[in-house]
Amino acid sequence: MLYTILKHAHSGFRWVVLLLLVAAVINALLKWRGGKSYSAGDKRIGLLAMTMTHLQFLFGIVLFFISEKVVFSGESMKIAMNRFFLVEHPTLMLLAVILITIGYSRAKKAGTDSGKFQRTFWFFLIGLALILLGIPWPSMGYGTAWF
């Protein structure tokens, strides 16, 4: 029962994370290119996107240890689905979370508004790209769904 709840939460919550990351990236790009001032609202968008990414990652850590799709065996590397859920998916997501966290931290410390937007844009964009690469989309044939 816990597994089913977490699996559906992790799968559905990805849309919230993706939406927030896209919003943070677009916001940073538009305001950076528009020469706008960095406001408390801009900081909140980045903080919310980062926090929800961390929460999603925590769901994933729990699932990593209880999912039947994660197979701890020497043979797992020979089977694409097992390798994906054991190595590829968690590695890409960990890298994304690290980059988004670094980006948020560096944006806070940047001396100029333009620097804050630039750091948010690049770090969050690369994190978003890694997340998109690491999502087990239904078309991959790994028995996953859209929600």
Supply the DSSP string of 80-117, one letter for each residue: HHHHIIIIIHHHHHHHHHHHHHHHHHHHHH-SSHHHHH
Q: Summarize pLDDT for 50-105 with one digit per residue, the tens.
A: 999 999 999 999 999 999 999 999 898 999 999 999 999 999 999 999 999 999 99
pLDDT at position 1 is 86
Under the banding of pLDDT at 50, 70 and 90, the label for residue 21 is: very high
* Cα angle: 95, vertex 109, 105; to 5 degrees: 25
Within 8 A by CB and 6+ apart from 90, the residues are 60, 64
Query: Alpha-carbon distance 6 to 139, whole Å?
Result: 22
> Global pTM?
0.92
Under 8 Å between Cβ of 89 and 71: no
Query: Alpha-carbon distance 99 to 124, whole Å?
Result: 7
pLDDT at 131 over 90: yes
pLDDT at 128 over 90: yes
Q: Is the dihedral of CA 105, 111, 114, 118 positive or negative?
A: negative
A 10 A CB-CB count for 29 gives: 17
Under 8 Å between Cβ of 66 and 3: yes
